[in-house]
Amino acid sequence: MRVLRLWAAVTLLALPIMAQAQAQPQTQPRVSVADTEPGYRQIQIDVAVSPDPRVAAYEIWFAENSFSSTRDALLHSRIAVMDVDGLERGAPGENYDYCQVDGLPAYLDADGNAVIDRNAARWSCALTGMVPGRDTWIAVVPVSADGLALVDVDGLQPVSGRTDASDERTPPPDTRPVLYALGSIILSTIVLLVFLRQRDARKGRTRSRLAHVYVAPAVIGLITLTFYPILYGIGLAFTDADQSHLGDEAWVGLKNFVTVFASPGMWRVTGFTLVWAIANTAAHVFFGLLLALALNRAGLTGKTVYRTVFLLPWAIPGYISVLAWNGMLQPEGLVNGVLGTSIDFLAGADSARLVVILVNIWLGIPFMMMTLSGALQALSADMFEAAEVDGVSRWDQFRYLTLPNLKSTMVPVSLLGFIWSFNSFNTIYLMTRGNPYVGFGEPGATDILITYVFSVAFEYGQYGVAAAWSVLIFLMLVVFSWLYLKKTRATEASA
Amino acid sequence: MSRPSLAARWYVPAEIQALRLWLSVAVLVNLLIMALDVVRDGKLWPSLLGIALLALGRLSLPDGQANWKKPVAQLLGAGGVALGLFALAISPRLLYDVWSVAWLVVPCLLLVAWLSRPRVADWAGGRSDREFAERGLARNKESMPRLDVVALHLALLHGLAVVIVPVIWIVDVAVSPGNVLGGAIGDAFTLEHFTAVLSGDSFWTWTRNSLVVAAGTTVFGLALAVPAGYAFSRYQFSGRKESMFLFMLVQMFPGIIILVPYFMVMKTLGLLNTSIGLIIVYSVTALPLGVWMLKGFFDTVPRALEEAAVLDGCNQFEVFFRVVLPLSLPAVAITALFSFLAAWNEFLLALVFNTSNEQYTLPVGLASMIPATGQQWGDFAAASIIVSIPVVVLFVFFQRALIQGLSAGSVKG
């Protein structure tokens, strides 16, 4: 009897919960791709939905292949659904992802993002950033206010669409300005070298008759292919160069720099880049020095074996090591196997950040180890013997003899390491591609400046903006290097 | 309370000194283990208790006076051993569990065992006569280096594991059947991935592209760098200082500022998706380092030889090709190896410049095996091993020369 009553109570309690769990799932929104091409790299989708008070937003997912689960697709955008009373409609073409509801431009929320009327049964959007000339599969998922999908996310039926660049392709760029520039640079360099040669002849330096001929190829190569591109890049930062304006870009003044400073996540990505570079450099120097000291010990058995194995992260091509770590950190990978867990380390923003930093530390230690170990071997052994005789402790020997004497190596090498870390594209790109996703057009959670600039330039095709970023990054590095050298010089002078 | 005698202050048994250090290190390592336990969602109390026992054991190490410390420390040590064995019993007993428990049990065992050695026990009991201390010091001199070496090897072995495990893993993935990431190491063996990679066209296309680009870079780069390095080393000429400064300056420019303009220049010149574009860019980016390295090497070739050759009637070209170049051939070879490896491993520029599978170099090709979806881990691992072995062998074989060259270039620059 008591069991029965208990059963009844449990059932009664559970009923509402079950009812909620089994609530009618939303019907899957029907997506169709419009024939019209709204613009370059854009696909227009029309979506038929069944209005439902539970829907708080629609997520648009896409992939290069057909998919049935959101796990195999990328999130393109999330469009909020709300009551539109008191909101204003946007103007056509005003928004990045231009959306329409029932044939009229969508309402905009306070931040200027398109929102969809709660009662709308049809809406359409122009999806930007699509790769031209390739089929793209698109599905729309309604989600509730707490972010849960209201349809089965493993049973999606995406539709395919494509945008063809062929009718948008710009005429082949005019190469003459570049060729003229290169030609005149080469000519003027040759003239300069001939002039210098003449001056030497006048001064009577005859031994160096051929010196200018010897250096000419290298100097011309350097000027045409390094200095000219740098100047070209600086110039590019002030133009509207992008995928559709190449060769006929127009001067836009400081607009690109304004875009950079106004871009969402600018300070976040700069901050993370600094954290990334400083953490990496500090760890590289610390562990590199530790290993160098350990391997510098006289008569250590197996020194050659240790040295050779510790060299491996440097000897193995970097992209291979990074991809290997990527595999080891997957939920079914080795790290989880060792720990007996199945964590997706690269899914959460903080854990992904920590993990990419650790992987990059792993990669960079051998270089520091070998450089510092070379510097250690160059220190005079007599000095340490004398200290030993005087009874100086091991720690004091390190503190007052090794460190000050290593400083002349450590200062430039750590600056170099900082610049390398600052620009180390491979680790981030091959581990996470900057993901976890934060927002469309925004740097991802693990993006550093260089990977973000890469996506601005080669995924969004905004060369001018990317050039502006590059100039700013360069200035940051110059300022940092200058501060660092000034600081270390100052301590040198006071020491 | 008696003040410690002179002998007690001068003499601390090697075991106690070692325990002072090792127990502190063990506390730190166990803190790390506790952090990992949080990640694993495991029980926290064993690691917390372990850390407490180790820390208290460290605090109650005997100080050479007869007091309560020795029995307490030993008791704590015994507690640590028991706790460790218990934690191991309730754990899934993976290799990781054994390792983490070892970091609790071994220090505790040493604590118990070493404190019961007669000499240490005597010292802890307050014995401090002169003869005892002198003998002890003599013994310390013998055993301290031994203990140091053991600790050093222990630390180095941990480093070794961190370095070598990814290598073992990738070999395991390469020889495991199917497209699996996990599985026990060495549970199955197959060469299917190697045959798949070697019989496919893509791998050979990528290898050919990489070879063309790397060889082209080496030849073209050296053709530019050798004469320039020689001129900088041998001649005083107008513009020498300025152009050397130019080469130094370029090394300081971060690659990113050149990336976009390079792409634009190559695009306007129609050199995207060609090997030539990459060869030109790699040669020029490797140029400053090559010039600086070669200048350093040429500086070490004695001038007297050249002067003798000039007296024998050689002209400048003959001096260079017949005397200087043969003498510095090893150095030139190292510079060549440098350019070759740099071009062989470069990823970013190759990714930006080449967009078709036909023009991929190995780095971009291998990375294309691991896209966002449909990753072919087994094939990737097999291809990685094939690509890495020659590079690693070259690297290990020439490590000293490469490092000297690089530090010469980088530190001066």
What are A33-58's pLDDT values in tens digits? 876 666 667 788 888 888 888 888 88
Check B159 against A422: CB less than 8 A apart. no
- The verdict on residue A14 lying in a domain is no
Q: Are residues B86 and B218 in the same domain?
A: no
**CA-wise closest residue to A453 among A266, A193, A243:** A266
The reply to whether A25 falls in a domain is no
Identity of the amino acid at B371:
P
With tokens 């306007």, the residue in question is B268
| pLDDT tens across the length of chain A (495 residues) | 555 555 555 555 554 444 444 445 667 788 878 766 666 677 888 888 888 888 888 888 888 878 888 878 888 888 888 887 777 777 655 555 567 777 777 777 777 777 888 888 888 888 877 777 777 888 888 888 877 788 877 778 788 887 765 444 555 666 777 788 888 999 999 999 888 888 888 887 766 677 888 889 999 988 888 888 888 888 888 988 887 766 677 788 888 899 888 888 889 999 999 999 999 999 999 999 999 999 888 788 888 899 889 989 988 999 999 999 999 998 888 888 888 888 888 888 899 999 999 999 999 999 899 888 888 888 888 888 888 888 888 888 888 888 888 888 888 888 888 888 888 889 999 998 887 887 777 888 899 998 998 888 888 888 889 999 988 888 888 888 888 878 777 665 544
Is the entire prediction scored with pTM above 0.80?
Answer: no
Question: Token pair of A54, please?
Answer: 């539970």
Residues A123 and A230 occupy one common structural domain? no
Q: What is the pLDDT of residues B172-186, one digit of tens each?
A: 989 888 777 766 677
Which candidate from A199, A320, A426 shows the least CB-CB separation from B238?
A199
Closest CA to A190 of A174, A173, A161, A213: A213
Verify whether the Cβ–Cβ distance B399 to A370 is below 8 Å. Answer: yes
Say whether B227 and A218 touch across the interface (CB within 8 A).
yes
Looking at residue B25, what is its pLDDT? Answer: 93
Contact criterion met (CB < 8 Å) for A233 and B261: yes
- Cα separation, B166 vs A315, whole angstroms: 14
Tell whether the torsion through CA atoms of A389, A392, A396 and A401 is positive or negative: negative
CB-CB: which of A193, A318, A416 is closest to B410? A416
Rounded to whole angstroms, how far apart are CA atoms A170 and A166? 9
Tell me if A407 is assigned to some domain. yes
Judgement on whether residues B235 and B366 belong to the same structural domain of the protein: yes
Q: Are residues B118 and B42 in the same domain?
A: yes
What's B301's DSSP letter?
Answer: S
Bridge partners (DSSP) of residue B178 are none
Are residues B21 and B141 located together in one domain of the fold? Answer: yes
Is A257 within the bounds of a domain? Answer: no
Tell me if A317 and B396 make a contact (CB, 8 A cut-off). Answer: no
Q: Of B195, B198, B204, B160, give the one whose Cα is nearest residue B175.
A: B195
What domain range includes position A114? 30-161
Q: How far apart are CA B16 and CA B12, in angstroms?
A: 7
Estimate to the nearest angstrom the gap between the alpha carbon of B307 and the chain centroid.
45
First to last CA, chain B: 64
B-contacting residues of A 378-417, CB under 8 Å? Answer: 409, 412-413, 416
Can you tell me the distance from the alpha carbon of A130 to that of A41, in angstroms, rounded to the nearest whole number? 5
Residues B119 and B240 both lie in one domain: no
Contacts of A423 in chain B (CB under 8 A): 254-256
B-chain residues within 8 Å CB-CB of A297? Answer: 152
Residues within 8 A of B (CB atoms), A 260-289 only: none
Residues of B in contact with A430 (CB under 8 A): 347, 367, 370
DSSP structure class, residue A399 = I
CATH number, position A466: 1.10.3720.10
Please tell me the total count of domains within chain B.
2
Tell me how close the Cα of A365 comes to any Cα of chain B, in angstroms: 10
Residues B259, B159 share a domain:
no
What's the complex ipTM? Answer: 0.88
Residues B282 and B318 reside in one and the same domain: yes
Chain B residues with beta carbon closer than 8 angstroms to that of A222 = 246-247, 250, 284, 287-288
Domain with B129, as residue range(s), is: 6-173
> Chain B partners of A175 at a C-beta cutoff of 8 Å?
268-270
Q: Are residues A333 and A447 in the same domain?
A: yes
Cα B286 from Cα A143, distance rounded (Å): 52
Query: Is the residue at B200 inside a domain?
Result: yes
A347 with A449, same domain: the answer is yes
CATH number of the domain that residue A143 is part of: 2.60.40.10
Pick from B256, B265, B377: which is nearest to A453 by CB? B256
Domain-terminating residue out of B112, B143, B173: B173
Planar angle of CA A364, A367, A369, nearest 5 degrees: 105
Question: Is B189 a member of any domain?
Answer: no
Is B1 a domain residue? no
Cβ–Cβ under 8 Å, residues B310 and B319: yes
Pairwise CB contact (< 8 Å): B96 & A217: no
* Neighbouring C-beta atoms of residue A132, cutoff 10 Å: 19
Q: Which of B172, B193, B263, B268 to mutate to test binding with chain A, by most A CBs within 10 Å of its CB?
A: B268
Q: For residue A75, give how far its alpha carbon lies from the nearest alpha carbon of chain B (Å).
A: 13
**B319 and B272 in one domain?**
yes
Q: How far is A413 from chain B (nearest CA, A)?
A: 7
DSSP B357: G
CA B46 – CA B43 distance, rounded (Å): 7
- Does residue A221 form part of some domain? yes
Q: Which residue of B has its CA nearest to A207?
A: B235
